Chains A and B, each alone.
Chain A
Amino acid sequence: MSVRVKGTDTAIRIRWIPRYTALERYLHWGHTLTFILLTMTGMVLFFPFLAPLARGEAGQFMRLVHRVSAVLFAAVPVSYAVLQPRRLLLTLKELRFGRDDIGWLKGAIPYYLLGRHVDMPPQGRWNTGEKMNAVILVSGTIIFVLTGALMWFGKGVLPVWVFQAAVIVHDLTMFATVSMFIIHFYLAVAHPLMWQSLVSMRYGVISESYAREHHAKWYYGEEQAKKLYEQAKAKAAAHGKAE
């Protein structure tokens, strides 16, 4: 595909490489939509200032929407596991954390906030931040389903302390996941360095140059990425000394 550079006649050819399957993208947006619905209808019960929306018929409707969305929300990972079990396993395997992640975390603020070109250790298909987001959402989803089921079906069946604990864990999970969601939303929608992530979640592809720069371990493979990174670092050090 070629893209015309704004205000010029120059056309650039961009090579796009696949990052997500179509199913992965549908499920991502399905999860996003149901998550937003669940957050909105759950908050109504949670925040005292939203009490007017929780009352009577309106409140019953909110709770019904919460329950319907909850089923769809839980169906997302299940369909992934059923339809593309190998992809799911490979994806989960990518969630390993290592030395490069510590380096990434150290460099993240100057890089993403201040735009300084600090050396960032090479990343896989997902960078450290994306992996953290995934870990919190995957574990959050599991906890939501478990505690939500207890609150849904446990009343009068289980000892009251189980219900009491489930509400609190459900709320704390909401806290963790919604906080992550706010950051995720900002990075994906409003951050200048991340726009290609949004593209890849929309079209499933990412440009070659972006992959090379931001996801080197995925693009070059682990070994090669590491070698290139060491070389670049040595060069920069030498350059620094010469100055």
Chain B
Amino acid sequence: MGKVAMLYDSSKCTACRGCQVACKQWNDLPGTLTKNRGSYENPPDLSPYTWTRIRFIEKYEGGQMRWLFLAQGCMHCTDAACVKVCPTGALKHHPMGLVTLEQDLCNGCGYCTQFCPFHIPRLLTDALTGKGKSFKCTFCMDRVTNGEKPACVKTCPPGAFSFGERNEMIAKGRARVLYLQKNGYPNANLYGDVLLGSLGRMYVLLDKPEGYGLPVSPVSPALTHVWQDWVQPIVSVSFGVTALAAVTAFFIARRHIRMEEVE
């Protein structure tokens, strides 16, 4: 199989949060106690224990409140900043287009949490010693590489999630957007078909991305490239050159300076 993707259709989602539960169940993540914040959205944010959740965005139009739902989780970017900055290789690209996270390799440095343009990975860490691990949606790598659908996709009762070949998902999403645009949602759009080299998680949105709190044109931060593509290689080469120069100087100086003349 080539690259896969999951397509989440905001127009079909009923916010039952079955995906949240299925994710916790499959990945063995504990539930957490939360407080009522005056919103159905719960838990309040992604966390080391919550890798996906439904956002309830309250939109007011002509005195009427309307919800926009969104299944938040790792976007499985083709140009993934997190993979680029991870010093251990715990974050990796899988040929099927997943961005996987191997906890065993992670050392908890938290670089991924600071460079991801979607603010997805979350760190469970001791702030003082720095001991910790990063957590995020792994696209259910264990299921997907064995021919199963991700747990969230499998469980979704209204079929808001589809899963399959990436090109097929893009075609399906575009067709759905055309349909929605003709049927009362002029702002409907497909999010992720062309962003960051195409995303493994794509959204059919009823409103502009801004309305969902999504970055309109996410890029891996410019500093990712400065760091990984410039600073690292240049410093590596320069150290070699400096050390070589010192060794060369040692031999040249030894030939020219006689200890007997030195006091």
Contact = CB atoms under 8 A, between A and B. Distances in A.
Nearest to B252: A113
A56 interface: yes
A115 B258 contact: yes
B107 A60 contact: yes
B246 interface: yes
Given A51-B88, A67-B129, A164-B114, A46 B232 contact: yes
A48 interface: yes
Main secondary structure of the interface of A (DSSP, over half): helix
Interface string B109-134: 11101110001000100010111100
A183 B232 contact: no
Contacts of A74: none
Contacts of A165: 223
A160 B130 contact: no
Contacts of A112: 253
Given A55-B105, A192-B259, A152 B130 contact: yes
B223 A164 contact: yes
Question: Which of B87, B227, B242, B256 is the most central at the interface, judged by chain A CB atoms within 10 Å of its CB?
Answer: B87
A133 B10 CA distance: 61
A144 to B, nearest CB: 15
Interface string B83-117: 00001111000000000000011111111011100
Contacts of A186: 246, 249-250
Interface string A98-142: 000000000000001111100000000000000000000000000
Given A55-B89, A115-B258, A209 B263 contact: yes
B250 A160 contact: no
A201 interface: no
B15 to A, nearest CB: 28
A113 B231 CA distance: 30
Interface residues of B, number: 48
Interface string B131-143: 1100000000000
Interface string B221-246: 10110110001100110110011001
B111 A167 contact: yes
B35 interface: no
Interface stretch (A86-94, A170-178, A227-235): A170-178
A147 B252 CA distance: 39
Nearest to B233: A48
Nearest to A64: B129
A192 B254 contact: yes
Contacts of A59: 87-88, 106-109
B257 interface: yes
A163 interface: yes
A113 B119 CA distance: 53
A168 B253 contact: no
A164 B256 contact: no
B88 A54 contact: yes
3 pairs of A and B residues whose beta carbons are closest in the complex? A59-B107, A115-B257, A186-B246
